[in-house]
Amino acid sequence: MLENAKRTIAFICPVCRQPVILERSAFQLAAAGSRLPCPCGKAGVDVEMMGGQVRLRVPCLFCEQEHTVSCSTTAFLHEKTLAFSCAASGLDCCYVGEDEPVFSAMRRLEETVDVLESEAGAQGTFLNDLVMEEILEELRDIGRRGGISCSCGCREYKMKINYSSVELFCARCDGALKIPAATMSDIEDLCCKPTLLIRGRER
């Protein structure tokens, strides 16, 4: 086994709705009770290696349950990409593999999520109208105070309203920040942020 081989693990955090892409060495993954958290700290993938099998517990954006999936250790450490999907929605909830195929699978999944969200949005409803209204108002407030900027230094941004989130895009570098707008706690989270930083894309 290549102990220093790198694996990329990706999922969409169901709490903050950001795509999370993490890289770990096979050695790190083999360490007992590996947890791969979202930077928000509220969700993460648990990896458990037991001899020839790997078991993953994946938080799911689509059905909001946790899925337990497993595969062989060989596949987990050597396949180009493994896709684990949500039985309830049929959509992928986690990818494991080499960084490039995992990044492109993730990009496709994000596009699918955007389409699903805008289809739902086109029907004139949000997941929670009240929450969406409050989130938009708070975002406008933060924007008026000049509190929205991108890590590339740009202060111009575009806003896209989805079914249960709002996305801010940097006008210069295409960096994006997704703000969840689904529950009351999303409002609380946003209200305690004086500024918002869009993660810029380096080219």
- Binding region for Zn ion (CB under 5 A): 13, 15-16, 38, 40, 60, 62-63, 86, 88, 150, 152, 154, 170, 172-173, 175, 200
Phi, psi of 46 (to 5 degrees): -100, 130
Smallest gap from residue 59 Cβ to Zn ion (A): 9
Smallest gap from residue 190 Cβ to Zn ion (A): 14
Are 96 and 9 a contacting pair, CB within 8 Å? yes
Q: Which is nearer to Zn ion, 54 or 60 (CB)?
A: 60
Q: Which is nearer to Zn ion, 34 or 73 (CB)?
A: 34
Q: Which is nearer to Zn ion, 73 or 167 (CB)?
A: 167
Smallest gap from residue 15 Cβ to Zn ion (A): 5
Burial class (CB in 10 A: 0-12, 13-18, 19+), 33: exposed
Smallest gap from residue 185 Cβ to Zn ion (A): 12
The strand pair at 19-25 and 34-37 is best described as unpaired
Phi, psi of 132 (to 5 degrees): -60, -45
